[in-house]
């Protein structure tokens, strides 16, 4: 299914097929063939220009053809393989690129906001995307699944003093993987300053707006529905749309080679789900792909986001090391597919990890086929929960430090994809340790070699972190 230029694209492909069919059944002269070939080349150029026109503001409306869970039974995670049909878009991509996906807000959140505010869902409003119903505007044009700071600041004008005395107590909190629950000995999390009961809602708002950190803490587990109910505030649709953020596309590392899967683009997506205040929450785009789109045939907008740096070496005989735990394996599945198609002599070494081999061994059959066929030189895993001591990819890197250093000396490229907050920093420190332990460098020289020589000068230490 196309959008905007889709019909022109269909004409392009139909015309090429027509020329080929005619030449197959009629005796064309050389001049005729040259003339028709020129027209074909022109139509192909049109197709290339069309592909360049798809963007976040003009996405290609397509369909999901495959959408299945990669995790094994009993997993606490939900990781999906999602395949998009590129149809007649003319879109192309290289391994290392990202796919932009335009999501929509969960319908239950849109319904709740409209109900609380007592708005007419069918009323016509004007947004940056033109005139549309209020429901459609809240569903497609704005980010309403999470509240922003601008909205919290607006409470100062909406909430008035009532003389009501409000006392708030935190009964539990989960943040950054740490859980806390109230007890007789602890009235609140150690990292959270105790709050004084406020006299009324306006005083409570004043306390929230006292500093940026207080606003962040307040917003951590609240959305617009929570805040509207908490303070019983009312807005006009126009006021609300002025405060909320415009809906932004999400970018995902592409998990396929276009040469291996012509006409399709594939993703490895970690679905984010949780509950708060007895209401389901989650990641905007991941829930949209998992719950609303699935393989229903409903349209979803996509576009390509090319990379200039996270690319394979031009020389196909160069060795590469890839570190991609969890969904960070996505671009390296694409890299491996491309290296198989290219057929170079370069060796491929993949480091992968997650919680358990039983439930998080993504793409097991494909990986084992690469090993059996000699395409994947080595596959090193780190299953953090399969033994008493937690093991992560940085530990495996240090264990194989001597051989990794030999690869570096031969000019190997090093790639990493995944969490930048913890994993990427730990891997970075492991590389510096390897340069010190096996390269005989001082810490200063090792740091310079990893951060300056490999990363900036030689550009063979490449990262796709988020």
Question: What is the C-alpha separation between 283 and 270, in angstroms, rounded?
Answer: 9
* Element (DSSP H or E) covering residue 178: strand 178-181
Token reading at 370: 């690469």
Token reading at 388: 């008493």
Confirm if 156 and 209 have CB atoms less than 8 A apart.
yes
DSSP helix/strand/coil, 226: helix
Confirm if 97 and 119 have CB atoms less than 8 A apart.
no
Segments of 41-90 assigned E as strands? 60-62, 64-69, 79-85
Beta carbons within 10 angstroms of residue 216's beta carbon? 11
Query: In this predicted structure, what is the pLDDT of residue 232?
Result: 93
List residues bridging with 132 in a β-sheet: 125
Query: In this predicted structure, what is the pLDDT of residue 186?
Result: 56
Confirm if 244 and 138 have CB atoms less than 8 A apart.
no
Q: Which residues contact 302 (CB under 8 A, 6 or more apart)?
A: 54, 59, 60, 62, 84, 91, 99, 100, 101, 102, 265
Instruction: For the chain of 466 residues, list the mean pLDDT of each consecutive stretch of 10.
Output: 38 33 39 47 52 89 97 97 97 98 97 98 97 98 96 92 53 64 58 53 90 90 94 96 97 98 98 91 96 92 97 98 98 98 97 97 98 98 96 98 98 97 97 98 98 98 96
Closest CA to 145 of 179, 103, 174: 103
Q: What is the separation, in whole angstroms, between the first and last Cα of the chain?
A: 31
Q: How many residues does the chain have?
A: 466
CA angle 129, 130, 136 (to 5 degrees): 75
Closest CA to 56 of 93, 90, 100: 100
Question: What is the C-alpha separation between 109 and 124, in angstroms, rounded?
Answer: 19
């Amino acid at each position: 299914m196309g959008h905007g230029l889709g019909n022109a694209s269909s004409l392009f492909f139909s015309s090429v097929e027509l020329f080929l069919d005619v030449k197959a059944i009629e005796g064309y002269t050389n001049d005729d063939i040259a003339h028709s070939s020129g027209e074909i080349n022109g139509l192909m150029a049109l197709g290339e220009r069309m592909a360049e026109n798809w963007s976040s503001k003009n996405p290609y409306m397509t369909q999901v053809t495959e959408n299945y869970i990669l995790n094994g039974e009993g997993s606490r995670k939900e990781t999906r393989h999602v395949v998009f049909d590129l149809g007649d878009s003319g879109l192309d991509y290289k391994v290392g690129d990202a796919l932009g996906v335009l999501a929509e807000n969960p319908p239950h959140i849109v319904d709740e906001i409209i109900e609380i505010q007592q708005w007419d869902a069918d009323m016509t409003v004007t947004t940056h995307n033109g005139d549309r119903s209020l429901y459609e505007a809240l569903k497609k044009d704005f980010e309403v699944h999470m509240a922003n700071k601008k909205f919290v600041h607006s409470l100062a004008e909406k909430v008035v003093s009532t003389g009501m005395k409000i006392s708030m107590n935190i009964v539990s909190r989960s943040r950054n993987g740490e859980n806390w629950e109230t007890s007789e000995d602890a009235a609140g999390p150690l990292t959270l300053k105790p709050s004084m009961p406020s006299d009324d809602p306006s005083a409570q708002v004043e306390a929230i707006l006292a500093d940026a950190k207080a606003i962040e803490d307040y917003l951590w587990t609240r959305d617009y529905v929570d805040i509207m109910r908490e303070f019983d505030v009312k807005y006009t649709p126009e006021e609300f749309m002025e405060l909320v953020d415009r809906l932004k596309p999400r970018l995902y590392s592409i998990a396929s080679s276009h040469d291996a899967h012509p006409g399709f683009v594939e993703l490895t997506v970690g679905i984010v789900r949780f509950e708060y205040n007895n209401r389901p929450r989650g990641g905007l785009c991941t829930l949209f792909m998992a719950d609303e789109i699935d393989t229903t045939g409903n349209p979803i907008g996509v576009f390509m986001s090319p990379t200039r740096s996270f690319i394979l070496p031009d020389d196909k005989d160069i060795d590469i090391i890839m570190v991609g735990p969890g969904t960070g394996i996505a671009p390296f599945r694409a890299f491996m597919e491309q290296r198989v198609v290219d057929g170079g002599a370069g060796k491929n070494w993949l480091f992968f990890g997650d919680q358990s081999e039983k439930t998080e061994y993504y793409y097991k059959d494909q990986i084992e086929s690469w090993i059996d066929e000699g395409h994947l030189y080595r596959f090193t895993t780190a299953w953090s929960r399969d033994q008493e001591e937690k093991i992560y990819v940085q530990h495996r890197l240090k264990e194989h430090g001597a051989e990794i250093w030999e690869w570096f000396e031969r000019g190997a490229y090093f790639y990493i994809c995944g969490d930048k907050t913890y994993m990427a920093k730990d891997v970075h420190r492991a590389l510096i340790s390897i340069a010190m332990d096996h390269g005989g460098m001082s810490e200063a020289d090792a740091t310079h070699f990893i951060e300056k020589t490999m990363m900036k000068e030689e550009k063979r230490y490449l990262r796709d972190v988020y």
